Structure 1
C-alpha cells in the first residue's frame, strides 16, 4: 500500500493508553478509525447519519461512494469480537452538536482534525502517523479478519472493487506463506 502508512495494533493501543475516553484526542482518533472516514468526512459525521436500521451511513466526499458502518446494529461475522471496541468508539464520540466531533457546537475543521491526530500521536510517542493511516488500519483489519472485498468496499465507501483489492491481496499473500488464519478485527487494549 503506497502513500500513508497504516497504524499497527501496537500504535493504536499506545494511543489509547495515552488518551483515555473523554479526551478530545481519543474522539479525534476513534471516529476516523472505526468509520474509516477521511478527515473531510469525519468532521461532518453525527447522529443524523445513523439510520433506523442502526447503520451509520455517509457519502464519501472524495469518491461519491456511500459508506456503511455498523453502529448499534448487529456486527458482521468478521467483526463480532469488536462489540466492546465499538462501544468505546461511541463513548469517545461525544460531540453535542450536529457532528460527533463538534467543537463549541461547530464542526471541527478538516485540516485541524488531521493536524490534531498527528500531534496527539506524536505526544503519545507515535511518529509519522496520520489520520489517513487510521482509515488504512481499519480496512486492513477487516481484510485480516476475513472480511470480503465487498465488506471493505461498503465500510470504506469505495466505489469499485479494484480500489480495495490491495487490502485483500496483501493479506492473501501473507496467508499463502504463513500459517495465519482469518481472525476478528484487531481490538487493541483500550486505556
Structure 2
C-alpha cells in the first residue's frame, strides 16, 4: 500500500465511495487533495512533512493572452479573419488604435478591471452607450469605435459565444459635420496669393479638381496621368479603390508649366515627396499666408468639389464614383445640402413673386 511506503500517510473511503488521503501525526490530521503522484498532492504532503503551508504555482499572464469568450479573444480572431486581411494598411492601423483604446478602457473609473477582459456575453446595450459617451468630445471617433466593437461582436456571434447582438440598430450619428467646404471668395484669395507653378497652387488644384484625400494627393505620380486621353488613374490608399478621373481644363492649366522629370507631382523644397502629415501642416501655412480664416483645410477642398458637383446636378452615384466613397450616406450629404438650398430658393422665389404681385401700388 502507498501509505506503508510514506510515513504518516493513510487513506479511507468517504460516504460516496471516493478514496480520500490524509496526513496523521500525533494529534495533527491534515486532509490532502488529489492522489499520490499528482502535483497538488505531492506539494501538500511535503508541506505537511516540513510543517509549512503548501506552495501554489505563480500564474503569470502572458502578453496578449486572452480568456475565451472575452473581447480580447474576439479581437485576436478579428485580426485573423479574411475580411481583416483584405483591409488596407491605413484602415487596419485606425481600427487597431481604436480597439486597443477600448480593450484597455476601465469598466469603472479607478478600478483595474478592463473591457478587454470582459466576456462579450455580459455586454449590455446600456454599456455600449456609456462607452460611447466617453468620446462625446470626439463624435466621429465614437462612431468609428462602435464599428470596431461590432467587429468583435460579429466574431462572438460566429463563435456562438452570444446569440444576439446588443448593438442591433444602435446608431451613433454625430452632429459634427467635419471640415467645411471653402467658399468662392476663399478660393479666389488663395489663387490670388499663390500663382500657377507654385507648390501651394499645385497642391490646391490637385485636391480641388481631383477631390482626392491628402493620402492620395501626396503620392500622385506623373505616370498615373494620361494627358492624351485626358484622365488620371489611381488606386486610393484608403479602401484600395481604383479611380479613373478626368483631367479638367482647370487642372490641366495648373499642371502645364510643371516639370515632369520627377516621380511624384508634389515635392518639398528639399526635392522629396510630401508625407500626409507634412502636407496638412504646409497647407495650414499656405492658407495663413493668403489671409484665409482657420478651417480652410485640404479636406475642405474635397468637400468643395463635392458641393459643386451636387449643386450642378450630379447624382449620388456620380458623387460616389468621383470622390471614391463606398458609403452612400457620405455622398448624400452633398446631395441633400444642394437640394435643400435649391428647394428653399425656388420656394422663396414663388413667395416673393406672389407678394410683389398682390402688393398694392402707390
CA distance in 2, matches of 1:139, 1:92: 27
CA distance in 1, matches of 2:301, 2:257: 16
> What is the TM-score normalised by the length of structure 2?
0.43
- Tell me by how many angstroms 1:65 deviates: 2.9
Change (3 A) 1:87 1:26: same
CA distance in 2, matches of 1:92, 1:41: 22
Name the counterpart of 1:136.
Answer: 303
Describe how 1:19-168 pairs up with structure 2 within 5 A: 19-51=194-226, 53-71=229-247, 83=249, 85-91=250-256, 94=259, 96-103=261-268, 104-128=270-294, 129-168=296-335
Higher-RCO chain (CA-CA 8 Å, sequence separation at least 6): 1
> What is the TM-score normalised by the length of structure 1?
0.79
List gaps (5 residues or longer) in structure 1.
72-81, 181-191
Preserved CA contact (<8 Å) 1:32 1:131: yes
Change (3 A) 1:136 1:122: same
Change (3 A) 1:29 1:95: farther
List gaps (5 residues or longer) in structure 2.
1-175, 348-362
Runs (4+) of structure 1 exceeding 4 A deviation are 92-95
Preserved CA contact (<8 Å) 2:222 2:260: no
SS of residue in 2 equivalent to 1:117: helix
- Tell me by how many angstroms 1:96 deviates: 3.5
Preserved CA contact (<8 Å) 2:215 2:276: yes
- Tell me by how many angstroms 1:155 deviates: 1.5
Preserved CA contact (<8 Å) 1:57 1:67: yes
CA distance in 2, matches of 1:27, 1:92: 11
> Bigger shift: 123-132 or 146-155?
146-155
